[in-house]
A and B are shown apart, each in its own frame.
Chain A
Amino acid sequence: MTSFSPHRAFAVARKEVMHILRDPFTLALALGLPVMLVTFFGYAIDFEVKDIRLAVYDRDGGPAARRLKEIFSASGYFRPVEPEAAAGPIGMLDSGRASAALFLEPGFSRTIKGGGEAPAQFVLDGSDNSKAAAVAGYLPGIAGAARLRLSGPGGGEPFYAETRFLYNHELNSRWFTVPGLSAIIIGLLAILLTALTVAREWENGSMELLLSTPVRPLEIMAGKLVPYGVLVLAGVVFVYLSSRLVFGVPFEGGHLLYLAACVLFITAALSQGLLISVLARQQQVAMQFALITGLLPSMLLSGFIFPVESMPRFFRALTMLLAPRWFMAAVRGITLKGADLSELSEPFLALGLLAAGMLALALKKFKTDLEP
């Protein structure tokens, strides 16, 4: 009875392609979103923190203190600002005229010269969480450089701490974010476009026409998902090309593996969109659902911006159920680490399960909804 007809599925797919080509909204979204996101995250948003205004309260005034100040400003992360005696360091932080303050007590240079340990106090505005974390990350490097330079070559083998960042040596945030954009594009485009397509058929009554013919739900579903899958994949290719060619993001792993991860995630996302469409039946409602369940997890809970490891326990557990998180892990593993399937077995297994589960759920709901 359930004889799948490729002929009918193809008829649906061909019609869907014509819809896409005729609909300025779909086309603009499908073509414009990847370009916009890449420009936005590639150029405008920079997660690296630079030019932090540093107020130095130098009560020592010696040569070592001066050199330490130079080291801070030479790092490129800090820009010294004139300390205001009246406001005091806390006042400067409060008013935002400085983001960090460095205190050097009298006798700093003398202690250093004598080969002792001289404390320097560093105060940081912690109200901007991400900035503070970045600065805290820079400090050991600066401290190491300072130790090396201040104690001088005569002081025997100098000890310093060095933090080495593997895989992304320069901690270039673009390397990190731009490959991850494919998750946003799939999560948003695939879910939104499919959510609208079935709801549109319900809204203008053409679903009746479809259902009055012998076409099977599975054929409608395949015919609808494949064109949008291809469209979304084109967006992913655009992100890939722009990240390689424009931003010089390295690609260490296998392309086939990358494609497999994309296909799995696209399947999960398209199925989710279909499920939304079946449940909502109205384009307005479907669009809101799609934005909430598509964009938010991809943006906020995938590790794209906020690391999964630092999320509260509940959200960390929640991300286990979200395909974007696993896709992000797989993509970063493939692009930056060059990981192979055996190393990425966990995210791939999770992606596969979520995709299969979502597809089965959507198909079941779609079938029971359409069959008399």
Chain B
Amino acid sequence: MNDTVVPGRGDKGLLRNRVVEVENLTIRFGDFTAVDGVSFSVRKGEIFGFLGANGAGKTTTIRMLCGLLAPTSGVVRVGGLDFDDGGNGIKSIVGYMSQKFTLYDDLTVGENLDFAAGLRKLPAAAAEKRRAELFGMTGFDRPLTAKVSDLPGGIKQELALAAAMLHDPEIVFLDEPTSGVSPAARARFWGLIRRITAVGKTVIVTTHYMDEAEQCGRIALMRAGRIIALGSPDELKDSAFPGPMAEVDFQGSDPAAPIERLRKAPGLLALSPHGMRWHAAFSEGALMDAALSALPVSVRVRKIKPSLEDVFIRLAGGAQ
């Protein structure tokens, strides 16, 4: 399962557009290998997502790419720079927004942005111009004198993004940017991400929301420090489920016996519960039809397209 095909690596023409290149990246903390021989590259203007459970190594990978952690071994090149100077070169050309809300609650919007500008040594006029641009893009309409602690969660995230992008970085790293905000705010934030990439910037984002992963150009699926699959959402679905998939709804009848029979059906690739229903994937349509027709008549069956969640469960082993 680990030798999953990695689609999308063959297009050599895009080589010069690669703004992030990572080869065999490994980091160990004592005996624990948090990231284990990871290789991938990210193209300019792409939304590149890391999907995986907590502890899969997403955040650690991103932190190495931002110059926050030194890799134990492997090559990191971000915007043509490597880690040789302790990450300081990388830090000055990327923007990073961490999982936790990292602005200061007791300071105002303006003070937080001024601080970010000060750390980046931006001249006041440039910072002000850039702030206006970012506010225009994000639709941020709170006064500069508003205290950050008074802002709602989604607005805070937008402000944190503005602070991370004040120095106009070409590459923006977002580590679970929407954790803890409302669904509406999440949707708005992803609209923002698409607007950022529309002007040619690259966004690298981690998430464990499947619906967010669907919006990425490409996704690296991580488990236990390794990338177990990489590709666009459709490519991942196609490679994980080459055949058709059906949703099986037992409508209240006892599923135990039919599920047992279904498990032994020829051509079954995957069978997993989704709430009250089950998803069954087969290698071929004919084999699926045969297996499903053997189910009791009370069971309702319909063909579905696999979701990224199915892919994730199949490749990352679900809860195991």
Chain A residues close to B by CB (< 8 Å)? 1, 5, 7-8, 10-12, 14-15, 18-19, 22-23, 204-206, 208-215, 371-372
For B66, give the chain A residue with the smallest CB separation: A212
Q: Give 7 A-B contacts (CB < 8 Å), ordered by A residue.
A: A5-B121, A15-B107, A15-B111, A18-B111, A19-B104, A212-B164, A214-B119
In the complex, identify which listed stretch (B87-95, B242-250, B258-266, B276-284) lies at the interface while the others stay far away. B87-95
**Once bound together, how far apart are the Cα atoms of A215 and B99, in whole Å?**
20
Interface of chain A: mostly helix, strand, loop or mixed: helix
Interface of chain B: mostly helix, strand, loop or mixed: loop
Q: Mark B94-109, 1 if CB is under 8 A from A, else 0.
A: 0010111111111100
**Inter-chain contact total with CB atoms closer than 8 Å:** 84
Contact status B121-A209, CB under 8 Å: no
Contacting residue for A23 out of B68, B106, B114, CB 8 A:
B106
**Once bound together, how far apart are the Cα atoms of A371 and B85, in whole Å?**
11
Contact status A18-B107, CB under 8 Å: yes
Contacts of A212 in B (CB 8 A): 66-68, 91, 96, 98, 164
Contacts of A208 in B (CB 8 A): 68, 96, 98, 100, 102
For B67, give the chain A residue with the smallest CB separation: A372
Contact status B115-A15, CB under 8 Å: yes
User: How far does the Cβ of A363 sit from chain B's closest Cβ, in whole Å?
Assistant: 16
User: How far does the Cβ of A223 sit from chain B's closest Cβ, in whole Å?
Assistant: 10
Report if A206-B118 is in contact (Cβ < 8 Å); known contacts: A214-B92, A372-B86, A372-B87: no
User: How far does the Cβ of B71 sit from chain A's closest Cβ, in whole Å?
Assistant: 9
Report if A206-B104 is in contact (Cβ < 8 Å); known contacts: A5-B121, A372-B68, A372-B87: yes
Report if A209-B86 is in contact (Cβ < 8 Å); known contacts: A7-B121, A14-B115: no
For B163, give the chain A residue with the smallest CB separation: A209
Indicate whether B269 reaches chain A with its CB closer than 8 angstroms: no
Contacts of A211 in B (CB 8 A): 68
Contact status A11-B119, CB under 8 Å: yes
Not counting A19-B107, A208-B98, A372-B87, a sample of 20 additional A-B residue pairs whose C-beta atoms are within 8 angstroms of each other reads A8-B118, A8-B121, A11-B117, A11-B118, A11-B119, A15-B104, A19-B104, A205-B98, A205-B102, A209-B102, A209-B116, A212-B66, A212-B67, A212-B96, A213-B116, A213-B120, A215-B119, A372-B67, A372-B69, A372-B86
Indicate whether B295 reaches chain A with its CB closer than 8 angstroms: no
**Once bound together, how far apart are the Cα atoms of A355 and B232, in whole Å?**
58
For B88, give the chain A residue with the smallest CB separation: A214
**Once bound together, how far apart are the Cα atoms of A204 and B92, in whole Å?**
23
**Once bound together, how far apart are the Cα atoms of A372 and B91, in whole Å?**
12
Contacts of B120 in A (CB 8 A): 213-214
**Once bound together, how far apart are the Cα atoms of A212 and B114, in whole Å?**
16
Q: Mark B123-165, 1 if CB is under 8 A from A, else 0.
A: 0000000000000000000000000000000000000000110
Contacts of B117 in A (CB 8 A): 11
Which residues in window 53-80 of B have CB below 8 A to A?
A: 66-70
**Once bound together, how far apart are the Cα atoms of A313 and B318, in whole Å?**
66
User: How far does the Cβ of B37 sit from chain A's closest Cβ, in whole Å?
Assistant: 20
Contacts of A18 in B (CB 8 A): 106-107, 111
User: How far does the Cβ of B11 sit from chain A's closest Cβ, in whole Å?
Assistant: 31
Contacts of A371 in B (CB 8 A): 86
Contacts of B116 in A (CB 8 A): 209, 213
Contact status A11-B98, CB under 8 Å: no
Contact status A7-B118, CB under 8 Å: yes
Contacts of A14 in B (CB 8 A): 114-115, 118
User: How far does the Cβ of A19 sit from chain B's closest Cβ, in whole Å?
Assistant: 6
For B102, give the chain A residue with the smallest CB separation: A209
**Once bound together, how far apart are the Cα atoms of A72 and B96, in whole Å?**
79
Contact status B88-A1, CB under 8 Å: yes
Contacting residue for B106 out of A8, A19, A372, CB 8 A:
A19
User: How far does the Cβ of A283 sit from chain B's closest Cβ, in whole Å?
Assistant: 14
User: How far does the Cβ of A20 sit from chain B's closest Cβ, in whole Å?
Assistant: 10
User: How far does the Cβ of A334 sit from chain B's closest Cβ, in whole Å?
Assistant: 39
User: How far does the Cβ of A335 sit from chain B's closest Cβ, in whole Å?
Assistant: 38
Contacts of B106 in A (CB 8 A): 18-19, 22-23
**Once bound together, how far apart are the Cα atoms of A214 and B87, in whole Å?**
8
**Once bound together, how far apart are the Cα atoms of A369 and B68, in whole Å?**
11
**Once bound together, how far apart are the Cα atoms of A351 and B119, in whole Å?**
34
Contact status B91-A213, CB under 8 Å: yes
User: How far does the Cβ of A221 sit from chain B's closest Cβ, in whole Å?
Assistant: 14
User: How far does the Cβ of B83 sit from chain A's closest Cβ, in whole Å?
Assistant: 8
User: How far does the Cβ of A92 sit from chain B's closest Cβ, in whole Å?
Assistant: 61
Contact status B88-A206, CB under 8 Å: no
Contacts of B66 in A (CB 8 A): 212
Contacts of B111 in A (CB 8 A): 15, 18
User: How far does the Cβ of A114 sit from chain B's closest Cβ, in whole Å?
Assistant: 83
For B95, give the chain A residue with the smallest CB separation: A212
Contacts of A209 in B (CB 8 A): 98, 102-103, 116, 163
Contacts of B107 in A (CB 8 A): 15, 18-19, 22
For B83, give the chain A residue with the smallest CB separation: A372
Contact status A372-B70, CB under 8 Å: yes
Contacts of A22 in B (CB 8 A): 106-107
Contact status B119-A210, CB under 8 Å: yes
User: How far does the Cβ of A209 sit from chain B's closest Cβ, in whole Å?
Assistant: 4
User: How far does the Cβ of B157 sit from chain A's closest Cβ, in whole Å?
Assistant: 13
Contacts of A1 in B (CB 8 A): 85-86, 88
For B120, give the chain A residue with the smallest CB separation: A213
Contacts of B114 in A (CB 8 A): 11, 14
**Once bound together, how far apart are the Cα atoms of A210 and B120, in whole Å?**
10
For A15, give the chain B residue with the smallest CB separation: B115
Contact status A204-B67, CB under 8 Å: no
Contact status B100-A204, CB under 8 Å: yes
For B92, give the chain A residue with the smallest CB separation: A214
